[in-house]
Amino acid sequence: PCPTFSALLDRFYEEREHLERVKQRGQDLIRSVTTARDRTARKIAHQEQELAATHDRERLRQLGDILTSNFYQMERGMARLRTVDFYDPEGREIDVPLDPLLTPQQNAAKYYKEYNKAKTAEVMLTQQLEKGRRELDYLNSVLDTIPLAEGEKDLQEIRQELTDTGYLRRPSKAKGREKRVVSKPMEFRSSAGLRISVGKNNTQNDLLTCKQAFKSDIWFHTQKIHGSHVILWLEGGEADALILPETAILAATFSQAGEGSRVPVDYTPVKYVKKPAGARPGMVVYTTYQTAVVDPDPELAKQLRVK
């Protein structure tokens, strides 16, 4: 209700300008995160190529063996050795490239060294790829939370998260004296009157799941899909057959699959949800869960939203 038509228009344009400012600042964040995400994706693609190259390392060891068994045919200055490949079932001849500046023993040692180097590289690249894929997954999760921001506080909280994780540079003048922004998650009331909280970013997700919720409260999250952490606060009561689907629908609605259908949503008491040591914001593991398959419903979210 507004006292006058003029007041109604003023409020309308003020809210629209506010939303435009939030949208513009959100776009700046999206560009920064997208740049980091694309850089990480390129690095992963390059490492995958390097890893694929290490899979042929066994041939390097075989060539070293072939040279070792043919020292009597070799001498310094040779550019290649033509001999029988005793690893070939048909016993065909091959040309083994040599370094003319090296002795026969040094040429064989060179192949063994390259073999061991590829073997070590496989271990290192596998570890780096695992880390890189976690980083890529994390950055994609941040991109999914930016559109949920409803004001500057929400965006500032995401900036703080990206600064803490090293993706944004901390302003030098703010070091040591910056004030941390804390925004609030979205709040809903189920048809039965129970409170439901939905995190709008990874910081809120961690706070809800790891610090605020009781072990008996119910945690919801889309299965293997980026999305908000959703907490159904039981407050000493029990969840009935209607509340669980409603909460699952909210989890599906505020997820990467928000425009899809038949979205699997896992739910479990908070006591089964753990945050691994050193995990990025918003990342958790869970066990002993059930799964509901639901359709996202923005209209239901609007109806249940607490203003």
C-alpha 281: how far from chain center: 10
What is the structure's pLDDT at 24?
76
Instruction: Write the CA distances from 150 to 13, 61, 95, 251, integer angstroms.
Output: 16, 60, 68, 18
Query: Global pTM?
Result: 0.80
What is the structure's pLDDT at 173?
63
What is the structure's pLDDT at 306?
94
What is the structure's pLDDT at 175?
55
What is the structure's pLDDT at 11?
83
What is the structure's pLDDT at 217?
96
Compute how many other C-beta atoms are within 10 angstroms of the C-beta atom of residue 37.
19
Q: 226 is written with which tokens?
A: 């980026």
Residues of the chain by 3-state class (helix, strand, coil), percent to 5: 50, 15, 35
What is the structure's pLDDT at 13?
79
What is the structure's pLDDT at 198?
98
What is the structure's pLDDT at 65?
96
What is the structure's pLDDT at 174?
55
The rounded distance, in Å, linking the Cα atoms of 142 and 189 is: 26
Distinct helix (H) and strand (E) counts, the chain: 7, 10
The rounded distance, in Å, linking the Cα atoms of 54 and 77 is: 29
pLDDT along the chain (307 residues), means of 10: 86 76 81 95 97 94 96 94 95 95 96 96 97 95 92 90 90 65 92 94 96 96 96 85 91 95 96 95 94 97 93
- pLDDT above 70 covers a percentage of the chain that reads 96
What is the structure's pLDDT at 272?
97
The rounded distance, in Å, linking the Cα atoms of 287 and 103 is: 60
CA nearest to 209, candidates 282, 288, 146: 282
Residue position matching structure tokens 């997820």: 255
